Structure 1
Amino acid sequence: MSQVNVRSEIQESPISGEVAALTAVVRPILMGLLYSLKGDVVKEAGEYENLKLKMLPRLYRPGDGDCGICYEYAVHDAMLRRDATVLERVEDALKKCKVPGEELESLLFGVEKKGASQLIATAENTLTDDSRILTGKRSQPPKLKGYLNQLAAAFRRENTRPSLPTSINGLWKADLFLGTTDGDRWVGTTVKINSSQLEAANGLRVGVVPAIQGKSDKVRKDERKNLIICPIPYDGAFMEIFYSAWGIVQQFIQADAQLPKEVFLPQASHRQVAKELATRRDFPVLDVIEALGPVSQPGLLRTQESSQSMKAIGRGDLLLEGLISPVPRKSS
């Protein structure tokens, strides 16, 4: 058992403006790229919390799944920021899953996808002993909190999966748990940047994907996969901002953490966001992410620090003893 310090970013107002919106989405993209790095590689450079932004281009190796990982972080962050275009779609999806309550919340499942033992956790004390995961089955919904460690173990070790109840045997594939704090009911959610990669699994109820241009973006049920498909809209909305922010970060990395030439980022708003990154290249990535909060919008965030217990499960892996996260702004 060991203690780790955790910073919770508490949102206090909505985001407005193009540069602010781009900067807000760049933050979870940087987080996703940081934690996609192999743990042993990062350790050589000084651990995740000390890794400087200028080291990211040296350690990062582009892969096919990188955009998808960052998309998961960005969708979760958009829920916490109360991004209307994402929140409205998720609300419709949860209604189709018969999730009671109105206080929507997103919990980022704390299991890293590329070998990093760092946990990106969820909302501290959000889950109660009576929090249940809705599976779509007629049986009594399982209590979620008691299965978190088993789900994390099942992600890493195939031989532990048979110990899970049949109704949630595939829940370890979840990227998020979406639900309501007042209803205390949750659904396993898979987030895919490519809708063709959506997979059915016991315990998964919602699939969040980009809307396909030229096709209906209506929230609907896929009977074959038993998933409620939740398309996130493009034009002037979240997906457009996400891909623009992704492009800014990729150009910044390609420019060795310097301001890219104008031909690579011709739009003034995109260059402004890249400039905010370049001026902070000598600081740790996590500190830069924190510093970009006020740049996104003055008064957007305040930081709350706490300590949490983490428990080893072997070979340096860590399991969640509690749940910690950014805290969303309360609706008025």
Structure 2
Amino acid sequence: MQIRTEQQLNPVADEVSAIAAVVRPILYGILYSLKADVVAELGTRGDIKLKMLPRLRRPGDGDTGVCFEYAAHDAVNRGEARVLERVDDALRLCKVPGSGASSILFGAEKAGSQQLIDTVGALLTDESSLLSGSRGRPVKLKKHLNAAAAAFRRKGVSTDLPQSISGLWRADLFLGSSTSDYWVATTVKINKADLKGDRGLRVGVVPATEGKSDKIYLDDRRNLVVCPLPYDGSFVETFYMAWEVVVAFLAADAQLPKDSALPRSAARTVARYLADRREFTVLEVIEALIPLSQPGLLQTETASADLVRSGGTSAGVEMSAVLAPSPVIL
């Protein structure tokens, strides 16, 4: 598997750059939402051209949510200031020590489709601790990853997880600090009404409601620290603009959509970036958008790693890229 690290070097400068930056994780989300058997017909995910996405993708109600999970994760690790501000506040309420918020995406098969899959195994140490909010010593997170992945597929039935973190299978992210090596399981929902608490979950990330407060608060009923991400002129608004670009582009069979589909000039500019690159693979296009997201915005490095059980055997869990937390607060 690959380990990919990204660091934000400069703040986003304009609307086109901001949309292009968020289009990248949305394309990742769609690519890794494709069913594994469909991908196998064409080779690997790295072989899929951008022009093939609208023909391979089967739109579903959960698509926006999957991409929002990935975009939120990406925003933390890119060091997007207004997102980091909310996440830092949420971590303080959870009494997570350390500085420099980081995010690790953890997913598995849901609803019969291959969701964007990352594993935290290669990123955590043997001492990485999960703060669950219950009394007692924090559990070591890495040793329970395989049980959490298996519980994903069984929707929590017959889980081998300790009782104190039995709801860990519902986590979408692990938020925490790589300096202190303490983490909290986090659920991400694009619809606040779908937010559910469970044992082991500590934070719920949702979009702030347009025009309303995005204050972080403790939800006693769900036993979650709710972390609304800012809307007006900020992350959530940019996410929806980027989502609009990608959906319109795919609906136009990976061609430049009509002006009526994308009336904003900034959105059409980013859609043109995609249309001009339709013959390239999705992963190549995502890489190509880095400088267009703003020259010098991100620094990306990749490496290889194997995930094995403590006994030295293969973990037996299907994985894709691993996104290492490397935030830079600007």
TM-score by length of 1: 0.91
- Check whether the contact 1:219–1:228 (CA below 8 A) recurs between aligned residues: yes
Which of 8-17 and 252-261 deviates more?
A: 8-17
Gap change, CA 1:255 and 1:241, over 3 Å in 2: same
Name the structure 1 match of 2:208.
211
Q: 2-side partners of 1:213 and 1:150: how far apart?
A: 38
The offset of 1:85, in angstroms, is 1.6
Among 113, 116, 140, the residue aligned to 2:114: 116
Which of 104-113 and 129-138 deviates more?
A: 104-113
Q: Which amino acid aligns with 2:318?
A: L
Name the structure 2 match of 1:63.
60
Among 228, 248, 261, the residue aligned to 1:231: 228
Superimposed CA distance per residue, residues 152-193 of structure 1 (whole angstroms, 9 cap, x where no aligned partner): 122123587432111111101100000011221110000000
Alignment gaps of 5+ in structure 1: none
Superimposed CA distance per residue, residues 300-319 of structure 1 (whole angstroms, 9 cap, x where no aligned partner): 334423222256666xx526
The offset of 1:268, in angstroms, is 0.9
The offset of 1:327, in angstroms, is 4.8
Secondary structure of the 2:209 match is: coil
Aligned residue pairs, count: 324
Name the structure 2 match of 1:253.
250
Name the structure 2 match of 1:296.
293
Gap change, CA 1:181 and 1:242, over 3 Å in 2: same
Among 172, 190, 193, the residue aligned to 2:190: 193
Name the structure 2 match of 1:77.
74
Q: 1-side partners of 2:209 and 2:301: how far apart?
A: 39
- Check whether the contact 1:14–1:81 (CA below 8 A) recurs between aligned residues: no
Among 309, 312, 328, the residue aligned to 2:326: 328
- Check whether the contact 2:170–2:187 (CA below 8 A) recurs between aligned residues: yes
Q: Which amino acid aligns with 2:75?
A: A
Q: 2-side partners of 1:31 and 1:103: how far apart?
A: 25
Gap change, CA 1:215 and 1:299, over 3 Å in 2: closer
Q: Which amino acid aligns with 2:298?
A: L
Aligned ranges 1:163-202 → 2 under 5 Å: 163-202=160-199
Gap change, CA 1:8 and 1:81, over 3 Å in 2: closer
Superimposed CA distance per residue, residues 274-300 of structure 1 (whole angstroms, 9 cap, x where no aligned partner): 000001101110111111111111123
Superimposed CA distance per residue, residues 190-216 of structure 1 (whole angstroms, 9 cap, x where no aligned partner): 000000111111100000001123543
Gap change, CA 1:239 and 1:39, over 3 Å in 2: same
The offset of 1:105, in angstroms, is 0.4
Which of 218-227 and 158-167 deviates more?
A: 158-167
The offset of 1:117, in angstroms, is 8.3
- Check whether the contact 2:16–2:267 (CA below 8 A) recurs between aligned residues: yes
TM-score by length of 2: 0.91
Identity of aligned residues (%): 54
Alignment of 1:27 with 2:19, yes or no, is no
Q: Which amino acid aligns with 1:175?
A: D
